[in-house]
C-alpha cells in the first residue's frame, strides 16, 4: 500500500499499470490518488517530501505505512489510528475522515465501534426538511398553469411572483444543496465524475440562468424568452435538490441500519472482566486491559469476556450465538469457552488464550465488516460503466443543447436549455452507482442481524442462482428442543428386573457427555424424574450413529438401529414398536446392555412454527428442497411429508451428507446448505 504525499490518501493501485498517476523523483516512485495531486507535487516536490508524506517510502506524516488499527475489538477503539474508507469504493482509504473522491459519500472507519456517528444523517435530515418547507409551497404556487384555481402569478403580478420564487428557492439551492455542490466541485477537480457532478451541473445551470433572467432581464437573448419573458426554473432546481436530499436520507438510514448488525455483534462482548491477581484478589478491569494468560472469573449470568480454557469450576454455557444450539452446553475443567457466550449456572475460572481481534467473535465481526465492503462481479461491472457514464452524459447534454438550439422549435434556446438540463438530471446514475453496493451492504447487514454471516459479496450474488437447498433436520426444520415421548423395555431387560426408569437413567448418564439435542432431551427427562446419574467410563462417540460407554461394569451402546445391527445385536423384538414411533414422527434411540437389547426411547422434535411458511416461500422461489439427516428414514419421511419437501436422505453420516452435496454439484446444480450449528459447517462451506 502507498500513500499520496500531497493529500495523505492511501492509494491501492499498481504502479506499473497506472503510470499517469505515478511520478519518479530522485530515484523513488511516488503514487497519487488523482491528476490534481500529481500537478501539485510536480510544482514543488520538496515541499511534500520534507513534510513527511513520502509515498515512495510508504509513510504518511511520519507514521508507519500500515497505520495499524486497534487490535482490541471491544466497545473501546483506538481512534488515533483509524483508517477511513468509502462504503461503496473500498479501495479508497485514508487516515482522516472526509468525502470519497469517486462518489462523494462520507468516509467511515474501517474499524467497527459501538459508537454510532449519525452526524451526516442528522445534517442531511435537517437540510431535507428545511428544503421541503420552502420547496413545497414553491412547487404549489408554480402549478398555476397545470392545476386550475392555483394562479398566484395573476394575484401578485409577474415581477413580485418571480421574486417570490427566487426567495423560496434560494435557501434550498444555496444551503440545502451546498453539500452536493461541494462534492460536484471536488469531482471535477479530481476528474472522478459521479452523480453529484450531474446534479451540480444541472441544478446550478437552472438556478443561475433563472437568477440572471430575474436580475438582468434585458440581457437575456430573445431566443430564450417566451411571450417576451424569460422563463424561470427556480422550482425545478429546488425540487430536484429536495428529492436528492431525500435520497441521501434514505441511503444514510439504510447504512445506519446495516451498521447496527456489526454494533449488535460488538455488544455481545462485555465491557469489563473480573481478573484474579497474583495475590488472589479480584479486580474488575476494562476488557482492553486483559492480557494473554490472565486468570478471569465469570460468575453465573455473566458473559465470557475472552476465548479461553476453564481451569476451575463447572457450569453450563449458552453458545447459541456460535453453534445455533439452544441448549446450554456443559463445561468443566479443560473445556474451551468463547467470547460473548453466556455462563448460565456455576462460577468458572478461565485462562485467557485469545484476546482482542484474535477471538472468534472478533473474527465474526471482521467477516461481516469485510463482506459488507467486498465487491460482487456486478458491482465491478457497475464501476466500469460509471467511469464512462458521467462524461458521456455530459457530452450528450451538450450535443442535445446544440442540436435543439440549431434545429429545435421556437423558442429554440429555451427548449435547448431545458433539454440539456433534463439530460443531466434524469441521467443521474444514482441507481448505477448506489443501488448495487447498497443492496450488498443491506443484504449482508440484514443477514448478520438474523444470524447469517455472508463471507463476501460474490457469495451473496451467487445465492440468486441457487436451485437446490439442502437442509439439516434437527434444529433447522424442527425446534431443536426434542422431548422424550416414549420408553419401551425389551423382554430380556424386564426379566433382569430393569424398569423404564433404569433404561432412562443409564441412557442419560451416558448422553450427558453429548451435546446433541436428542441427548439433551434424554438427560432433561431423567432430571425431571429426579434420577441420580451414574459414573460413566470409557465414553466414545461414534460419529453419526451414537455413543458407547461402561457403567458399573456393564458395556452399553446407545444409538440408531444401524449402530446396533453392526454389533450383531437382534432388535426385532421391538421392531414393530420402533416403526410405530417413527410413523408418529419420533426418532428412535436403541439401548443395549452387554450385547442385549434393553429398550428403546422415542424422542420427538416439533416442527418450527415458521418452517412451513419458509418452505412454501422457497418453493415459490423455484428451489428444490432436500433434507439430509442422520435420523431413521421413516422419521425423516414423516417430517418431509408434513412440510412437502422434494427429497429425503436419511440414515446418513456427516461424510455421506458432504458426498451427496458434491454429487448434486457434479450434476450442475447450484447448492445451498442450511444448518443450525458449526457441525454443519463442512457441508455448508462446500455448498
The tens digit of pLDDT for each residue in 569-616 reads 888 888 888 888 887 778 889 999 888 888 999 887 778 888 889 999
Q: In percent, how much of the chain has pLDDT > 90? A: 9
Kindly state whether residue 145 falls inside one of the protein's structural domains: yes
Residue 675: what pLDDT?
Answer: 72
The average pLDDT across 616-638 equals 84
Q: Assign residue 657 the CATH number of its domain.
A: 3.40.50.1000
Does the pLDDT of residue 129 top 90, yes or no?
yes
Kindly state whether residue 71 falls inside one of the protein's structural domains: no
Q: Cis link prior to 97 (omega < 30° from 0)?
A: no
3-state secondary structure string, 625-680? EEEECCCCHHHHHHHHHHHCCCEEECCCCHHHHHHHHHHHHHCCCCEEEECCCHHH
The tens digit of pLDDT for each residue in 222-265 reads 666 666 677 788 888 898 899 888 877 877 776 666 566 566 66
Name every residue whose Cβ is closer than 8 Å to that of residue 530 and which is 6 or more positions away in sequence. Answer: none
- Per the CB < 8 A criterion, the answer to whether 627 and 648 are in contact is yes
Q: Domain check: are 169 and 219 in the same one?
A: yes
Residue 615: what pLDDT?
Answer: 92
Q: Domain check: are 633 and 584 in the same one?
A: no
Does the pLDDT of residue 71 top 50, yes or no?
no
Name every residue whose Cβ is closer than 8 Å to that of residue 338 and which is 6 or more positions away in sequence. Answer: 304, 307, 319, 322, 359, 360, 361
H-type alpha helices, 336-485: 360-373, 377-407, 412-426, 430, 436-449, 457-462
Last residue of a domain, one of 334, 358, 382: 358
Q: Assign residue 341 the CATH number of its domain.
A: 2.70.150.10
- The three-state secondary structure class of 471 is strand
Q: Domain check: are 470 and 616 in the same one?
A: yes
Q: In percent, how much of the chain has pLDDT > 70? A: 71
Q: Which residue has the higher pLDDT, 199 or 469?
A: 469
Cα 599 from Cα 402, distance rounded (Å)? 92
- Per the CB < 8 A criterion, the answer to whether 489 and 507 are in contact is no
Cell of 222: 430573445
Kindly state whether residue 327 falls inside one of the protein's structural domains: yes
For the ranges 148-157, 274-283, 556-565, 620-629, which has the lowest average pLDDT? Answer: 148-157
Q: What is the mean pLDDT of the chain?
A: 76
Residue 624: what pLDDT?
Answer: 92
Kindly state whether residue 75 falls inside one of the protein's structural domains: no
Q: Domain check: are 505 and 635 in the same one?
A: no
Does the pLDDT of residue 171 top 90, yes or no?
yes
Identify the domain containing residue 24 by its residue range.
Answer: 1-66
Kindly state whether residue 108 falls inside one of the protein's structural domains: no
The tens digit of pLDDT for each residue in 386-425 reads 667 778 878 888 898 898 888 877 777 777 877 877 777 6
Band (pLDDT 50/70/90 cuts) for residue 676 is low
Cα 362 from Cα 321, distance rounded (Å)? 13
Last residue of a domain, one of 552, 575, 604: 604
Q: Which residue has the higher pLDDT, 111 or 125?
A: 125
Does the pLDDT of residue 442 top 60, yes or no?
yes
Cell of 650: 436419511
In the chain, the largest separation of any two C-alpha atoms, in whole Å, equals: 117
Q: Domain check: are 497 and 582 in the same one?
A: yes
Cell of 639: 417430517
Kindly state whether residue 642 falls inside one of the protein's structural domains: yes
Does the pLDDT of residue 122 top 50, yes or no?
yes
Count of structural domains within the chain: 5
Question: Among residues 509, 476, 374, which one has the least CA distance to residue 680?
Answer: 476
Cα 135 from Cα 123, distance rounded (Å)? 18
Residue 19: what pLDDT?
Answer: 47
Q: Domain check: are 176 and 240 in the same one?
A: yes
Give the burial class of 132: count Cβ atoms within 10 A of its Cβ; 0-12 exposed, 13-18 middle, 19 or more buried. Answer: middle
The tens digit of pLDDT for each residue in 268-287 reads 778 888 898 888 888 888 88
Residue 463: what pLDDT?
Answer: 81
Give the burial class of 564: count Cβ atoms within 10 A of its Cβ; 0-12 exposed, 13-18 middle, 19 or more buried. Answer: buried
Does the pLDDT of residue 55 top 60, yes or no?
no
- The three-state secondary structure class of 297 is strand
Name every residue whose Cβ is closer than 8 Å to that of residue 281 and which is 6 or more positions away in sequence. Answer: none
- The three-state secondary structure class of 618 is helix
Q: Assign residue 497 the CATH number of its domain.
A: 3.40.1110.10
Q: Domain check: are 301 and 432 in the same one?
A: no
Burial 157-185 (b: 16+ CB within 10 A, else e): eeeebbebbbebbbbbbeebbebbbebbe
Q: Domain check: are 562 and 644 in the same one?
A: no
Kindly state whether residue 60 falls inside one of the protein's structural domains: yes
Q: Domain check: are 191 and 322 in the same one?
A: no
Residue 426: what pLDDT?
Answer: 65
CA distances from 638 to 113, 546, 674 (A): 47, 22, 20
Rounded to 5°, angle at Cα 96 from 66 and 120: 140
- Per the CB < 8 A criterion, the answer to whether 352 and 291 are in contact is yes
Most confident of 127-136, 434-443, 515-524, 639-648: 127-136
Q: Domain check: are 395 and 489 in the same one?
A: no
Could you tell me how many residues make up the chain? 687
- Active-site residue list: 472
Q: Domain check: are 377 and 283 in the same one?
A: no
Kindly state whether residue 345 falls inside one of the protein's structural domains: yes
Q: DSSP label at 280?
A: S
Last residue of a domain, one of 586, 604, 622: 604
Cα 636 from Cα 617, distance rounded (Å)? 21
The average pLDDT across 120-131 equals 90
Q: DSSP label at 172?
A: I
- Identify the helix (H) or strand (E) that includes residue 666: helix 654-666
Q: Domain check: are 323 and 433 in the same one?
A: no
Residue 323: what pLDDT?
Answer: 58
Amino acid at each position: 500500500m502507498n500513500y499520496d504525499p500531497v493529500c495523505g490518501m492511501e492509494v491501492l493501485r499498481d504502479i506499473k499499470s497506472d503510470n499517469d498517476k505515478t511520478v519518479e523523483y530522485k530515484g523513488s516512485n511516488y503514487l497519487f490518488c488523482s491528476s490534481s495531486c500529481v500537478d501539485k507535487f510536480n510544482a514543488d516536490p520538496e515541499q511534500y517530501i520534507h513534510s513527511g508524506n513520502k509515498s515512495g517510502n510508504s509513510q504518511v506524516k511520519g507514521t508507519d505505512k500500515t497505520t495499524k488499527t486497534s487490535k482490541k475489538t471491544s466497545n473501546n477503539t483506538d481512534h488515533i489510528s483509524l483508517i477511513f474508507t468509502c462504503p461503496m469504493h473500498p479501495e479508497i482509504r485514508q487516515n482522516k475522515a472526509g468525502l470519497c473522491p469517486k462518489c462523494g459519500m462520507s468516509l467511515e472507519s474501517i474499524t467497527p465501534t459501538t459508537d454510532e456517528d449519525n452526524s451526516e444523517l442528522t445534517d442531511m435530515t435537517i437540510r431535507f426538511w428545511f428544503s421541503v418547507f420552502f420547496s413545497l409551497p414553491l412547487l404549489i404556487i408554480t402549478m398555476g398553469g397545470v392545476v386550475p384555481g392555483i394562479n398566484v402569478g395573476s394575484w401578485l403580478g409577474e415581477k413580485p411572483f418571480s421574486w417570490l420564487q427566487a426567495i423560496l428557492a434560494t435557501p434550498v439551492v444555496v444551503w440545502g444543496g451546498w453539500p452536493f455542490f461541494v462534492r460536484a466541485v471536488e469531482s471535477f477537480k479530481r476528474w472522478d465524475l459521479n452523480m453529484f457532478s450531474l446534479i451540480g451541473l444541472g441544478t446550478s445551470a437552472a438556478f443561475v440562468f433563472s437568477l440572471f433572467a430575474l436580475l438582468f432581464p434585458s440581457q437575456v437573448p430573445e431566443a430564450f424568452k417566451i411571450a417576451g419573458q424569460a422563463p424561470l426554473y427556480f422550482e425545478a432546481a429546488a425540487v430536484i435538490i429536495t428529492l436528492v436530499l431525500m435520497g441521501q436520507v434514505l441511503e444514510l438510514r439504510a447504512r445506519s441500519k446495516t451498521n447496527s448488525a456489526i454494533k449488535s455483534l460488538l455488544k455481545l462482548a462485555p465491557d469489563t472482566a473480573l481478573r484474579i491477581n497474583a495475590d488472589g484478589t479480584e479486580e474488575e478491569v476494562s476488557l482492553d486491559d486483559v492480557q494473554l494468560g490472565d486468570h478471569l472469573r465469570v460468575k453465573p449470568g455473566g458473559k465470557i469476556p475472552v476465548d479461553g480454557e476453564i481451569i476451575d469450576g463447572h457450569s453450563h454455557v449458552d453458545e447459541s450465538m456460535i453453534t445455533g444450539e439452544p441448549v446450554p452446553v456443559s463445561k468443566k475443567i479443560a473445556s474451551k469457552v468463547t467470547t460473548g457466550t453466556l455462563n448460565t449456572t456455576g462460577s468458572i475460572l478461565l485462562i485467557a488464550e485469545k484476546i482482542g481481534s484474535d477471538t472468534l467473535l472478533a473474527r465474526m465481526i471482521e467477516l461481516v465488516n469485510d463482506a459488507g465492503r467486498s465487491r460482487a462481479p456486478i458491482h465491478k461491472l457497475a464501476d466500469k460503466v460509471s467511469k464512462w457514464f458521467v462524461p458521456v452524459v455530459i457530452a450528450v447534454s451538450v450535443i442535445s443543447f446544440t442540436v435543439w438550439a440549431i434545429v429545435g422549435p421556437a423558442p429554440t434556446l429555451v427548449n435547448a436549455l431545458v433539454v440539456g438540463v433534463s439530460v443531466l438530471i434524469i441521467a443521474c446514475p444514482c441507481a448505477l452507482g448506489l443501488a448495487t453496493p447498497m443492496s450488498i451492504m443491506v443484504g449482508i447487514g440484514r443477514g448478520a442481524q438474523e444470524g447469517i454471516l455472508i463471507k463476501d459479496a460474490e457469495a451473496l450474488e451467487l445465492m440468486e442462482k441457487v436451485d437446490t437447498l439442502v437442509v439439516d433436520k434437527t434444529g433447522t426444520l424442527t425446534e431443536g428442543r426434542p422431548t422424550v415421548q416414549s420408553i419401551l423395555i425389551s423382554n430380556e431387560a424386564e426379566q433382569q428386573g430393569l424398569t423404564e426408569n433404569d433404561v432412562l437413567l443409564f441412557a442419560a448418564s451416558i448422553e450427558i457427555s453429548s451435546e446433541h439435542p436428542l441427548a439433551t432431551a434424554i438427560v432433561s427427562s431423567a432430571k425431571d424424574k429426579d434420577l441420580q446419574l451414574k459414573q460413566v467410563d470409557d465414553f466414545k462417540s461414534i460419529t453419526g450413529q451414537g455413543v458407547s460407554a461402561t457403567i458399573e461394569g456393564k458395556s452399553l451402546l446407545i444409538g440408531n438401529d444401524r449402530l446396533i445391527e453392526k454389533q450383531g445385536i437382534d432388535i426385532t423384538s421391538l421392531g414393530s414398536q420402533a416403526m410405530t414411533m417413527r410413523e408418529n414422527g419420533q426418532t428412535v434411540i436403541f439401548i443395549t446392555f452387554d450385547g442385549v437389547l434393553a429398550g428403546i426411547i422415542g424422542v420427538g422434535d416439533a416442527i418450527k412454527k415458521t418452517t412451513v411458511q419458509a418452505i412454501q416461500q422457497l418453493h415459490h422461489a423455484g428451489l428444490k428442497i432436500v433434507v439430509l439427516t442422520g435420523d431413521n428414514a421413516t422419521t425423516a419421511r414423516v417430517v418431509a411429508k408434513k412440510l412437502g419437501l422434494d427429497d429425503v436422505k436419511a440414515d446418513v453420516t456427516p461424510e455421506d451428507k458432504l458426498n451427496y452435496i458434491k454429487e448434486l454439484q457434479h450434476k450442475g446444480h447450484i447448492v445451498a446448505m442450511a444448518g443450525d450449528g458449526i457441525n454443519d459447517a463442512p457441508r455448508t462451506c462446500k455448498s
